[in-house]
Copies of this chain bind each other. A is one copy, B any other.
């Protein structure tokens, strides 16, 4: 890695491209389960923190609260979330089972990603990610998540 090389690509464009590519790969892996990766991620988070509020998830994931509201409605339609959403999110039995299966899939995917990409590439992403998110926190210290 030679930091003196000028970078000739657009950082934002590249990030968006990588996001599309990885989302596609992960969606493919979750397709058998009838879940998108975005939904699987929410399922796993709610499994880990039952009763978490939409607003908290939205802050953590840096998703607009309206987008989160619609994700939640979709997951309700899919039968994964219980009714009273305004006092915290809770998985149904079906949702719990799906979350567990998703976690298995995710674990395999993640290990595969680490193996394929190698530790240096992953560390590179971490470095970039930490820097960008740190900058963001400095700009707005109230985004605590």
Residues of A near any B CB (own CB < 8 A): 1-5, 7, 9-23, 25-26, 37-38, 41, 61-63, 106, 109-110, 113-114, 116-133, 135-136
Contact = CB atoms under 8 A, between A and B. Distances in A.
Chain A's interface: helix, strand, loop or mixed, by majority? helix
Contact of A2 (B19, B110, B123): B123
Given A15-B15, A20-B62, A23-B12, A7 B132 contact: no
Contacts of A122: 3, 7, 11, 128
A132 B117 contact: yes
Contacts of A15: 15, 18-19, 22, 125
A131 B119 contact: no
A132 B21 contact: yes
Most B-side CB within 10 Å, residue of A15, A17, A123, A128: A128
B132 A11 contact: no
A90 B5 CA distance: 33
Contacts of A126: 1, 7, 9, 124
